[in-house]
Structure 1
Amino acid sequence: MSGQDAPAEEPRSRVSVARWAADLAMGGRFAVTGGRESWARTIMTAVGVGLGVALLLLASSVPHMYQERNDRGDARSALSFMDTEVKPGPETIRIASAGTTYRDRDIGGMVMAPDGKGKPPLPPGIDRIPAAGEMWVSPALKKLLDSDEGKLLRDRFPYRAIGVIGDSGLSGPTELTYYAGISQKAFGHVNSSYHIDHWGKEKKGKSEPLDPALLLLIIVGCVVLLLPVLIFIATAARFGGERRDRRLAALRLVGADTHMTRRIAAGESLFGSLFGLAVGAGMFLLARQIIGSVEVWGISFFTSDIVPSAPLALVIAAAVPASAVMVTLIALRGIAIEPLGVVRNAKPKRRRLWWRLLLPLLGMALLLPLADGFGAAAAAVAT
């Protein structure tokens, strides 16, 4: 008998999973066919979830944005940390910094001249070394020079613009910078010139890890952005319309138990959250285009930099629908769904202190790894 009873457990577990799927699917159908109230609740849930998903995708894109910007900066770096100075030759180039400031805006620049007739190294973003009297400019600097606002700035550049610097040679789309060509004799009037035989820093080992302070900011940002989404879903689940209450009561009347009706209600939230994922993806793509033309504190990013981390994107895509189901089931525990109607429990619940203390303790635990960094920063400010 024991050998015959063992296989009976597998169909029971399969039925349980199948029942969950069937109940959630029925809730999804009710969200579509439940009339104007259901559609209004679904759209509101989708918009709320979409806003949260878009912001979560943007937050998960910060590591990639940070890395791409640093990589471009390292690729165009002209600083040499070698013990011996580079000697001029046919494949070296002489350069010097030539930045300036215009109306409180920093303009980066560099003047250069080949040391010989060989093939000098090219900085990223241009296809040839500018000859004396020529310059390559960033798109933002070209726009400024061509505008009425840059009329006085044009007098500072005795060079003819021959092209724009490509994205690979810029830290961001709004950066103001240029490469200008001068003669070797003109370097007699330039301070701190030096020779290089290549551009970019030599990377040793793995890339630098993300700044712990920035990582903490991303974690806190994701938590802060996710909480309003969960609260929004819970509110929508608890305060349904009269038609929805009658539908849930009718399900109890035809034989559904309390758990089944809660799963069906969770299916409506699940459909709204899946709809919200699509809305959030569309909002994220729109936000990418806007961020690509915005500068904050002198920092800007290309649209191609704003790419969410694949593991984090998968977590968001799985966590948001799962959270919608979980929050709806928890929110409906205080609602009595009976065959004759839906009764909401107005009795105040006993407040628990432990989970309120958990969040501050978790925040302090996240700050512990940064204690040394904060102490060093304070000491630097004091000195």
Structure 2
Amino acid sequence: MANDQELPPPVLPEHEGAILPVPPTLPTTASLEAALEAMRSSLREVSDPSTEEEQLTGNCVLVLEGEQLVGILTERDAVRWALSDLPPHQILLGAVMTHPVISRQRHECLDILATMSLLRRHRIRHLPIVDERNQPAGIVTISSLNRVLKETFFLRFRQAVEVMSTAVVTVRAQDTLRHAIQTMALRGISCVVVTEPITGRRGPSRERPIGILTERDILQMRRLDLALGTTRVEEVMSTPLSCIHPADDLAAVRDRMQKLRIRRMVVANDAGELVGLITESNLMQSIDPVDLYGVYEILQRQVNILREGQFQLLSRQRFDLSRALANREFKLVYQPLLNLSQGRSNQPRP
């Protein structure tokens, strides 16, 4: 059997599946309004509605100077400017984009686990892919990595309660949209959960989740030009909620998120009380790349062992067959039925 030094490196998932097409691009002189419209238009483009894979890249815009990448505008960036006194058509991308932007060339993303570590280390959700001229060539997102890694085995034995965020930021249904946006911008979060108090119970105050307001919802509201100071959260929140239980295993949670094409899920207990929130980032952070490397290496070694055993078994069978032929052992089996040398059967006639 081959020794450890001769074993090939672990076979990791194909990186190409994690690289999505180039998202919308705009120059630095374009307006925030143009960027928001580009995001909305891209979000309406689904590659194959019959599949559960969401091939959308419309939650960001790449900002170019000439043809070179110089910045990125995400939904979170746009939310920070939703409260600006200036109208979106007067705000230039060059003033609101994230710059400098972290990017990589395609050959630098061959190791998908290293790419996952990069996103985790910099706490980003988008990694633009550029060519040798620093021109956009694609993008990697947390969503695309989660699909390619297919870490169901690693999530199957862990529960939602182990990785969920318990410090959930909430608002009331009667709060204004301006208050909700200010809360999201100040906290640097992607959503707020809308709750109502649970009355008639002793003990600590509990809340029941009744809706959610996300970055994407905010961008849609800005398009409708709603009055932020008078529009109430209950008028624009997403409801009813699809909640999960703290004891649900993470593999089921991940599959449910992908099926519903959402990036976060509210966690509620048996009494319907809010206990946490799980996002795609939580799922990714629950998987340690070092552990993945180790498991892939173990699996690769097992495959090599099985292949070596199969080879030895076949070699042994070929040796036994050759020895049997050399000893004319097959004649003892077939001659009572058929005399091959004379071409007639030796079986008694009925």
Q: Comparing both structures, which one devotes a greater share of its residues to helix?
A: 1
Q: Which structure has the higher relative contact order (CA within 8 Å, separation 6+)?
A: 1
TM (norm. structure 1) is: 0.25
- Normalised by the length of structure 2, the TM-score is 0.26
